[in-house]
Amino acid sequence: MAVVTGAARGIGAAIARRLAEDGYDVAALDLDEGACEETAAAVTGCGRRSVAVGADVGDEVAVTRAVERIAAELGPPVALVNNAGIQRDRILSRMTVTEWESVMAVHLRGAFLMCRETQRHMREAMWGRIVNISSTAALGNVGQVNYSAAKAGLQGLTRTLAMELGRHNITVNAVAPGFTITDMTRGTAARVGIDFDEMVASQVSQIAVGRAGEPQDIAQAVSFFLDPRSGFVSGQVLYVAGGPRG
Residue 63 interacts with ligand NAP (CB under 6 A): yes or no: no
CA atoms within 13 A on the CB side of 26: 37
User: Is residue 217 a contact residue for ligand NAP (CB under 6 A)?
Assistant: no
Q: Look at residue 189 and give its three-state secondary structure.
A: helix
Per CB under 6 A, does 165 bind ligand NAP? no
Residue 181: count of CB within 10 angstroms of its CB: 19
The answer to whether 42 contacts ligand NAP (rule: CB under 6 A) is no
Q: Are 111 and 132 in contact (CB under 8 A)?
A: yes
Q: Is 211 in the site for ligand NAP (CB under 6 A)?
A: no
- Give the nearer residue to ligand NAP in terms of CB position, either 124 or 183: 183
Q: Which residues contact 215 (CB under 8 A, 6 or more apart)?
A: 10, 11, 13, 14, 15, 180, 181, 182
Percent of residues in the chain assigned helix, strand, coil, to nearest 5:
55, 15, 30
Binding to ligand NAP by residue 184, rule CB under 6 A? yes
- Of residues 35 and 125, the one with the C-beta less far from ligand NAP: 35
Which is closer to ligand NAP, CB of 56 or CB of 117? 56
Active-site residue list: 147
Query: For binding to ligand NAP (CB under 6 A), which residues are involved?
Result: 5-6, 8-12, 30-32, 56-58, 83-86, 106, 110, 133, 135, 177, 179-180, 182-185
